Amino acid sequence: MTITIAHLGPTGTYAELAALTYAKTIDSPNHLTAYATIAQTLQALASGAVDRAIVPVENSVEGGVTMTMDTLWQLDNLQIQQALLLPIRHALLSYATSPEAITVVHSHPQALAQCQQWLANNTILAKTQPANSTTEILPKLIANPDWGAIASTRAAELYKLPILACPINDYPENCTRFLVLGNEVALGGTHTSLAFSMPTNRPGILLKMLQIIADRHINLSRIESRPTKRSMGEYVFFLDLEADIRQAETKATIADLTSHAETLKLFGSYDLMDHTGSQDK
C-alpha cells in the first residue's frame, strides 16, 4: 500500500525536505502531496485524504509555529508519530545584480524573521513581504528582477534560480523541528506532547499543573502558550515532556493533569530524530 504524505508546498520547501527525509525511513511505497498552507496540510490528514502530515512546529531562533499549534488544538485525534530536527540554511534568490538592488524580499514569515539582521545590513532599501511558504513566490522572480526570495539552495536548484548569498540566516545553528502526524494512536517514545486549557484563571493554577510534572521528576523540555481565542487572558499551554507514555509514571502524570484541566489533548508519544549533522541542499 502506498503511504500518502502531506506537506507545506509548493515543491522545494523545507517541509518537503522533511517529508523526503521521513520517506527514506519507511519501507512502504510513498507519495508526497503539497498543500498551500499548514492548516490545509493538517486538515487533509484529519479528513483522511492522506496517511501522514509533516509540519514545522518549532524553530530554534523564532520559537513556535503558531499556525501548527493553533490547528492541532482545533482538530481532534491527530497523533505525532515522530519528530524530525533539521538544519536550516537560508539563501537569497534573485535575478537582481546585487542584494542592494532588491526592492522586496518575499518568504514565509519565519524565514524572514530568521534573516532579519542580515536583510537589514545587506538589503537596505528592501521591504519584506510574507508568503504562505518559502517557495510560493519563486515562479514570479524571473518577471520581477528587483524581487528577492528567501529559500533553500535545493529550491534554487529546482526552480533554476540564481543565488545571491548563502547562508543568510542570522544564527548559523538555525534548525527546525518538524512533526510527523498520523490518525492512529502513537505507541510511545522518548517525548510526549500535550496541551491543556484551565477551567479558571486564578493564582497558582499553572504552578499546580507544573508541580504535578515536577513531583514525578519528569523533565519539561518545552512550554508555550497560545490564546484560546475566547477572551483576553485565557490561554492554551503546549508542553513537551521527556517521557514515554508506556511508562506508569507518565500515565499517572497525564491522568493527574487531565483531572485538573478544563480540556487536555494528548498529541502523542514519539521519538525525536536529529538530522542536524547533515546539510540541506
Query: From edge to edge, which strands make up the β-sheet containing 147-151?
Result: 127-130, 104-107, 147-151, 91-94, 163-165
Count of residues making up the chain: 281
CATH number at residue 46: 3.40.190.10
Sole residue written with cell 537569497: 92
H-assigned helices in 24-103 = 38-46, 66-74
Sole residue written with cell 524572514: 112
Residues 78, 179 share a domain: yes
Q: How confident is the model at residue 281 (pLDDT cuts 50, 70, 90)?
A: very low
Residues 25, 48 share a domain: yes
d(CA 195, CA 205): 15
Residue 107 domain flag? yes
Return the sign of the alpha-carbon dihedral for residues 183, 188, 193, 198: positive
Residues 128, 80 share a domain: no
Residues 180, 72 share a domain: yes
Q: Are strands 79-87 and 104-107 parallel, antiparallel or unpaired?
A: unpaired
As given in the structure block, the three cell numbers for residue 249 are: 509514571
Residue 113 domain flag? yes
> How many Å separate Cα 188 from the centre of its chain?
21
pLDDT at 268: 96
Q: What is the mean pLDDT of the chain?
A: 95
Residue 279 domain flag? no
Q: 73: domain range? A: 3-87+175-185
Is pTM beyond 0.75 here?
yes
Residues 159, 97 share a domain: yes
Q: Are strands 191-197 and 235-241 parallel, antiparallel or unpaired?
A: antiparallel
Eight-state DSSP code of residue 139: G
Residues 179, 44 share a domain: yes
Q: Of 161, 23, 14, which Cα lies nearest the Cα of 88?
A: 14
Q: How confident is the model at residue 122 (pLDDT cuts 50, 70, 90)?
A: very high
Is residue 6 predicted with pLDDT exceeding 90? Answer: yes
Q: Of 87, 86, 83, 90, which Cα lies nearest the Cα of 68?
A: 83
Residue 157 domain flag? yes
The string of pLDDT tens digits covering residues 184-215 is 999 899 999 999 999 877 788 899 999 999 99
- Compute φ and ψ for 243, nearest 5 degrees: -160, 155
Q: Are strands 127-130 and 104-107 parallel, antiparallel or unpaired?
A: parallel
Residues 181, 56 share a domain: yes
pLDDT at 277: 82
Is residue 170 predicted with pLDDT exceeding 70? Answer: yes
| Segments of 66-210 assigned E as strands | 79-87, 91-94, 104-107, 127-130, 147-151, 163-165, 175-182, 191-197
